[in-house]
Structure 1
Amino acid sequence: MIVGIGVDSIEHERVRDAISSPAFAARVFTPEELELPLTSISARWAAREAAVKALGGLHGMRLRDLAVTRTHLGRPVFVQSPELDRVLARLGVNELHLSLTHDQTTSCAFVVAERH
């Protein structure tokens, strides 16, 4: 059963400007994420925003608790963390499905929160 959906898009230029502040960058992204190309960092920002929409808020998490990585096959997934696990359990969400895309100027993410 679908519990929530969220979508977000962001211009790469806005993310570049935001992460020029080291304090902001460290508060929102993991060190591994900050090593990625700007298009990938932007997609991860959009993923966080889309997840917040799908879950109906942060529920006490920080944006950094919504870190994104890729599986060995390249599929984007949220990194399991104690905070994310706590929120998902409280909301009865078993899985967050994530899709990312980007072009030269913009990144977009789509998230589906699912309860089995």
Structure 2
Amino acid sequence: MIYGIGNDIIEIERIGKAISKEGFIEKLCTKNERENLLKKGNRAESYAGIFSAKEAISKAIGLGVRGYSLTDIEILNDEFGKPFAILSEKLNEIIRDKFGAYKIELSISHSKQYATAVAILFSA
């Protein structure tokens, strides 16, 4: 059963400006995400993809970003580059209380100007 679908799109230029401001990266990214982004060249489109993925997940949950922060969602990639999310125990509890056992599927893409992500929250 599908519990929720979230979709987000963001202008890469907007995130590029935001990451130059003090504190934005720390509010958006976990330590692991920051390390991975540095390895990938610290590119604005990668930050935009992570931002969009976190927003898509929050929309799939149906709460927006309320009761947790963006760093409660960690976006990483498997050995083939497929993105996946690791959620904090706090956010896991919020979702389990609302839906029970769940899984999340995630897709991220970008063009020259935009990054987009889709998240599907479904029963485990």
Q: Which residue of 2 aligns with 1:40?
A: 46
Q: Which residue of 2 aligns with 1:104?
A: 112
Structure 1: where are the runs of 5+ without partners?
none
Q: Which residue of 2 aligns with 1:12?
A: 12
Q: Once the 2 structures are TM-superposed, how far is the Cα of residue 59 of structure 1 from its aligned partner?
A: 4.4
Q: Once the 2 structures are TM-superposed, how far is the Cα of residue 102 of structure 1 from its aligned partner?
A: 0.5
Supply the distance in 2 between the matched residues of 1:68 and 1:45 (Cα, whole angstroms).
Answer: 9
Q: Which residue of 1 aligns with 2:22?
A: 22
Q: Which residue of 2 aligns with 1:53?
A: 59
Q: Which runs of 4+ in 1 moved over 6 A?
A: none
1:111 counterpart SS class: strand
Please give the TM-score of this superposition, normalised by the length of structure 1: 0.89
Q: Which residue of 1 aligns with 2:76?
A: 69
- What amino acid sits opposite 2:24 in the alignment? F
Please give the TM-score of this superposition, normalised by the length of structure 2: 0.84
Supply the distance in 2 between the matched residues of 1:63 and 1:111 (Cα, whole angstroms).
Answer: 15
2:112 counterpart SS class: coil
Paired-residue identity, %: 29
> Superposition RMSD on alpha carbons, in Å?
1.6
Structure 2: where are the runs of 5+ without partners?
none
Q: Once the 2 structures are TM-superposed, how far is the Cα of residue 16 of structure 1 from its aligned partner?
A: 0.9
- What amino acid sits opposite 1:7 in the alignment? N
1:100 counterpart SS class: strand
